[in-house]
């Protein structure tokens, strides 16, 4: 690990030597300068993490040197030291970018602590900056894999909408990458340095969703043991991603609409109106327009959310992207699992191209991860793909007779749906939550279907 570099600047030799000894004992790398000219020469050759700078020096005083340091090395921390304490000088130093202002004589433990805290803060800011850059790189448009015509049109649309404040509705089947697109929009927008907050509307009980969105005051309900900020407050000046927006209850739709119209809300149990600046990106794998027609989703809320709609194509409509996606996931999981797999065999490629991917890109990713984990050679072979694909093809077929009965299509589809529900419950030993996950639906939707077909009670043999 590299040592932090500290430059000590003081016209008194005894003070320079004292600070040098003290700082070296703390395991810092120390350089010395007796005046401003020496400082400028050193800054031309090296970068310092921190400078201890005397205020009163001949030729060029400390404030003038501070200005030059900040012009040449903006990230360098400067701590001013003086034996002649002056409020005006201290204020001026802080305005010019000094981190702190210490008067002589100082306590050794005090200056050690100030230096340590300053460097820790600098290193934390550097780590945060690097982390933000990693996040931006990760969610750059180039990392949404695909070069098919539909994907190229998607990139063009994303570049147009990202800089705006407009609310966006992202639609597409499960596994098409709706959250990835939402993050790409946020991290390529002017809000990139502000929070990106996610809520899965189908995963929160109806009784808690208002508190989750708007927060609550202490004592507002039985379990409200402390005042809590809601996600709208947390996401202020950033982006709130509402996944599975079709699952939000009707009562909450009214309250959400008010926030989108007025940008104001009250915490549960609160009386104060809170104003926020939040961009909404909503996502759904359902047909919201149909839900509007069936009065399950408010029309006015739909238009508030659907200012710009981004439709993500299912993987079966961009099969040309499968080889590129497969290689992307192969590299990713080979690195994560410490494997040296670098290619996909021709037979494995054919298998991947022949599958329909009802789970879309997410399912392809899971298939590649599983195959990489099982693969023992340096090439991804068809053997480790077949077991998964054969099993899931069988599940999708379900042993059903595909001759449409005389009752018509609607009755036929209901019979298929009921049969798959029974099969999923049988496979999960009656655990409804796991059965819902197996079928790719949320628990609320599972409960609705079980009631529809009378499967909540004892099931038919």
List the beta bridge partners of residue 215.
229
Which of 89-119 are b and which e, b meaning 16 or more Cβ less than 10 Å from the residue's Cβ?
bbebbeebebbbbbeeeeeeeebeebbeebb
Q: Is the alpha carbon torsion for 224, 227, 229, 230 positive or negative?
A: positive
What residue ranges of the chain are covered by domains with CATH 3.40.50.300?
164-311
| pLDDT at residue 292 tops 50 | yes
Helix (H, G, I), strand (E, B) or coil at 103: strand
Distances (CA, A) of 426 to 397, 452, 461: 16, 18, 10
Element (H, E) at 373: helix 360-374
pLDDT at 309: 96
At residue 228, what are phi and psi to the nearest 5 degrees?
A: -135, 135
pTM: 0.60
- Residue 408 has a pLDDT of 57
Place of tokens 């000219």: 37
Q: Which two tokens stand for residue 435?
A: 């059965």
Assign 3-class secondary structure to 267-278. CECCCCCEECCC
Q: Give span(s): CATH 1.10.10.60, the chain.
A: 399-461
For the chain, the first-to-last Cα distance in angstroms comes to 67
Average pLDDT over residues 426-445: 83
Checking if the pLDDT of 395 tops 60, the result is no
Q: How confident is the model at residue 436 (pLDDT cuts 50, 70, 90)?
A: confident
Residue 297 has pLDDT above 90, yes or no: yes
Q: Which fold is adopted by the domain 5-133?
A: Rossmann fold (3.40.50)
Compute CA distances 157 → 103, 188, 239, 333, whole Å.
58, 13, 18, 30
Q: Does domain 164-311 have CATH number 3.40.50.300?
A: yes
Mean pLDDT comparison of 30-39, 119-128, 419-428, highest-scoring range: 30-39
Topology of domain 315-397 in CATH is Helicase, Ruva Protein; domain 3 (1.10.8)
Residue-wise pLDDT for 220-270, tens only, equals: 888 788 778 899 998 999 999 999 999 999 999 999 999 999 989 999 988
Structure tokens at 380: 């991804």
Which tens digit of pLDDT belongs to each residue from 39-89? 988 887 777 889 999 988 888 888 999 998 888 877 889 999 888 767 777
How confident is residue 200, by pLDDT bands cut at 50, 70 and 90? very high
Highest mean pLDDT among 53-62, 124-133, 281-290, 396-405: 281-290
Cβ atoms of 29 and 74 within 8 Å: the answer is no
Q: In this predicted structure, what is the pLDDT of residue 138?
A: 57
Which helix (H) or strand (E) covers residue 389, if one does?
helix 383-397
Question: Distance between CA 303 and CA 312 in Å, rounded?
Answer: 19
Average pLDDT of the chain, as a whole number: 85
User: How far is the C-alpha of 239 from the C-alpha of 259, rounded, in Å?
Assistant: 14
Q: Is the pLDDT of residue 396 over 70?
A: no
pLDDT single digits (tens) 104-156:
888 889 899 999 999 888 877 766 655 555 555 555 565 688 888 888 899 88
pLDDT band for 458, please (50, 70, 90 cuts): very low
Would you tell me how many other CB atoms lie within 10 Å of the CB of residue 53?
26
The boundaries of every CATH 1.10.8.60 domain in the chain are 315-397
Burial of 291 (0-12, 13-18, 19+ CB in 10 A): middle
Q: How many residues are recorded in the chain?
A: 461
The CATH class of 399-461 is mainly alpha
* Predicted pLDDT of residue 165: 93
């Amino acid at each position: 690990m590299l040592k932090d570099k500290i430059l000590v600047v003081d016209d008194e030799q005894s003070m320079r030597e004292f600070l040098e000894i003290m700082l070296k004992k703390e395991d810092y790398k120390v350089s010395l300068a007796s005046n401003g000219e020496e400082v400028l020469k050193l800054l031309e050759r090296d970068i310092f993490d921190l400078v201890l700078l005397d205020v009163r020096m001949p030729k060029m005083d400390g404030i003038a040197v501070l200005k030059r340091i900040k012009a040449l090395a903006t990230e360098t921390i400067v701590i001013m030291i003086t034996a002649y304490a002056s409020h005006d000088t201290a204020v001026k130093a802080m305005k010019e970018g000094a981190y702190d202002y210490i008067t002589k004589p100082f306590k050794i433990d005090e200056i050690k602590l100030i230096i340590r805290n300053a460097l820790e803060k600098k290193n934390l800011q550097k780590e945060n900056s690097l982390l933000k850059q990693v996040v931006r790189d990760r969610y750059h448009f180039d990392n949404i894999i695909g070069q098919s015509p539909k994907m190229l049109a998607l990139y063009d649309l994303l570049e147009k909408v990202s800089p705006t404040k407009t609310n966006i509705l992202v639609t597409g089947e499960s596994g098409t990458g709706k959250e990835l697109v939402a993050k790409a929009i946020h991290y390529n927008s002017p809000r990139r340095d502000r929070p990106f907050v996610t809520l899965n509307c189908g995963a929160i009980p109806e009784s808690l969703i208002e508190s989750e969105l708007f927060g609550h005051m202490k004592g507002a309900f039985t379990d409200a043991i402390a005042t809590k900020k809601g996600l709208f407050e947390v996401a202020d000046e950033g982006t709130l991603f509402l996944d599975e927006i079709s699952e939000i209850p009707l009562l909450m739709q009214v309250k959400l609409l008010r926030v989108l119209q007025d940008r104001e809300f009250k915490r549960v149990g609160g009386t104060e109106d809170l104003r926020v600046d939040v961009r909404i990106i909503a996502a759904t794998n359902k047909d919201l327009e149909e839900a509007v027609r069936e009065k399950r989703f408010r029309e006015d809320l739909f238009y508030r959310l659907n200012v710009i709609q981004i439709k993500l194509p299912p993987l079966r409509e961009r099969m040309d992207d499968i080889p590129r996606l497969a290689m992307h996931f192969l590299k990713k999981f080979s690195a994560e699992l410490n494997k040296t797999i670098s290619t996909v065999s021709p037979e494995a490629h054919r298998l991947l191209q022949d599958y329909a991917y009802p789970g879309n890109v997410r399912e392809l990713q899971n298939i590649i991860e599983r195959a990489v984990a099982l693969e023992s050679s340096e090439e991804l072979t068809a053997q480790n793909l077949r077991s998964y694909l054969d099993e899931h093809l069988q599940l999708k077929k379900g042993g059903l007779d595909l001759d449409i009965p005389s009752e018509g299509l609607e009755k036929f589809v209901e019979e298929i749906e009921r049969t798959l529900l029974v099969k999923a419950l049988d496979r999960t030993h009656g655990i409804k939550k796991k059965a819902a996950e197996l079928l790719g639906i949320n628990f609320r939707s599972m409960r609705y279907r079980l009631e529809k077909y009378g499967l909540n009670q004892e099931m038919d043999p």
